[in-house]
Amino acid sequence: MHREQTGAAGDEVPVGPLAGFTVGVTAARRADELGALLRRRGAEVMYAPALRIVPLADDSELLAATKQLIDSAPDVVVATTAIGFRGWVEAADGWGLGDALLDRLREVRLLARGPKVRGAIRAAGLTEEWYPASESMAEVLERLLEEGVEGHRIAVQLHGEPLPGFVESLRAGGAEVVGVPVYRWMPPEDIGPVDRLLDATVARALDAVTFTSAPAAASLLDRAGRRGMREELVDALRHDVLPACVGPVTALPLEAHDIPTSQPERFRLGPLAQLLTAELPGRVRPLPVAGRRLEIRGHAVVVDGELRTVPPAGMALLRALARRPGWVVARSELLRSLPGAGRDEHAVETAMARLRTALGSPKLIQTVVKRGYRLALDPSADTKYGGGA
C-alpha cells in the first residue's frame, strides 16, 4: 500500500514508484498516452516534441508512386509503420484509388515490419505474409536477401526513420526498389519546448528522457549541436540522465554518439513506462539517517515512504550533504552548491531552515557548530556508506 504525504496546504499526495522523478517526452505522436502512463506512476512529465509528422495526402510523389504500383504490380511490398500504412490507404481513398490499391496489395507478397503494422494491414482487409517479432528492418532485409531479390520489384513504404543500408542492399542484390513516401518528419513549429528540455537535461534537472523514434533522437542531437551544447548533452545522457528508447532502431542515433540506452524487451509504450518504473528508483541509494529511510529523488525526497517536496535550493544542499553522508560539509562548500547565492553564507542558513521544514524531521540534518552541517547517518551504517565525523 502506498503511503501519502500531507503537503503544506494539507493536500495528500499519493506516492507512486516514479514520484519525485521528472521525465522528458520527445514523442510527437502518442505523447499524451506515454505521459499519462508516467504520471499515473507519479512522475512529473516535461513534453518537448522533437519533430512533427507532416502527412503527404496531397503530395505528388505519393500519388505517382501509388499509380505506378497499381499499373505495374510489384513482387513485394514492405509496410514499415502502422500510421504510414493507414495514411497511404486513406490518401488513396481520397484520390479515388483506394479499391484499386487494396486489390493490388492482395495480389503481392506483403511483409510487415512488426505486430502494429500487421494490425493496420488486417484492419484494411489484407493479410501479411510475414513479420518479425523483433520489429527490426534488419531482419526483414535479411529474409529478403536470403530468398533472393534479383530481378524483383520491391515497394518500400518510407517512414522518415533511418533505414541504414536497407534500400541500398536491396538494389545491390539486383532488385528494383520503389519508395512510397507516406509522410515526412519536420522540425517542430515551436522549438521552445525542445530548448527547455535540452537546458533541463544538461542541468541534470531531468532524471530520464524517453525516445519513441530515431528521428526524434537525431533531431534532439541536431538541435543541441546548433546551440553549441551537443557535448554537454551527450555527457549528461552518458552519465546522469537516463535515455530510455522504445527499441533498438530508435536508439541508433544515440548509440552513434556512444550513449548507452535502456530499452524494454517489448517495443511498446507500456513496457517503456515499466522500464522507467524499475530503473529510476533503482538508481537511488537509500540512506539510513536518524532512524529514518531517506531516498533523494530528482526533485523530491521520500522519507519512510512519504514523499516530501523540497525547494530547488534545498535539493542542492541535500545532494551536497549526501555525496558524503555522515561527514561534515562546510558552509562555504554548501554555499557553492547553491545556484546564484553569491557570497553570503546566510543564504545557506535560510535554505537549510526551509529544507528541514520540507523534510518534516529536523533531526535528519545536524548542525555542527562553527563547522557546517552533516546528514545524521546512523552509526551502524558508517562502514557501508563510508561515513564519519
Q: What pLDDT is stored for residue 344 in this prediction?
A: 72
The CATH architecture of the domain made up of 54-185 is 3-Layer(aba) Sandwich (3.40)
Q: What pLDDT is stored for residue 231 in this prediction?
A: 97
Task: Report CA Rg, the chain.
Answer: 27
Give the other-Cβ count within 10 Å of 258's Cβ.
8
Q: What pLDDT is stored for residue 384 in this prediction?
A: 47
- Fold topology of 4-51+188-282: Rossmann fold (3.40.50)
pTM, two decimal places: 0.71
Q: What pLDDT is stored for residue 3 in this prediction?
A: 39
Tens-binned pLDDT, residue by residue, of the chain (389 aa)? 333 444 443 344 457 899 999 999 999 878 999 999 999 999 999 999 998 877 665 578 889 999 999 999 999 999 998 888 998 998 899 899 999 999 999 999 999 998 889 999 999 999 999 999 877 788 899 999 999 999 999 999 987 555 657 888 999 999 999 999 887 778 898 999 999 999 999 989 899 999 998 889 999 999 999 999 999 999 999 999 999 998 887 898 999 999 999 999 887 899 999 999 999 998 888 899 988 999 999 888 999 888 998 888 889 899 899 988 889 999 888 888 887 656 777 888 888 999 999 998 888 999 898 889 998 888 765 444 444 44
Q: What pLDDT is stored for residue 166 in this prediction?
A: 86
Q: What is the CATH number of domain 287-385?
A: 1.10.10.10
Q: What pLDDT is stored for residue 55 in this prediction?
A: 67
User: Domain limits of the chain?
Assistant: 4-51+188-282, 54-185, 287-385
Report d(CA 230, CA 157) in Å as an integer. 32
54-185 shares the fold of 4-51+188-282: yes
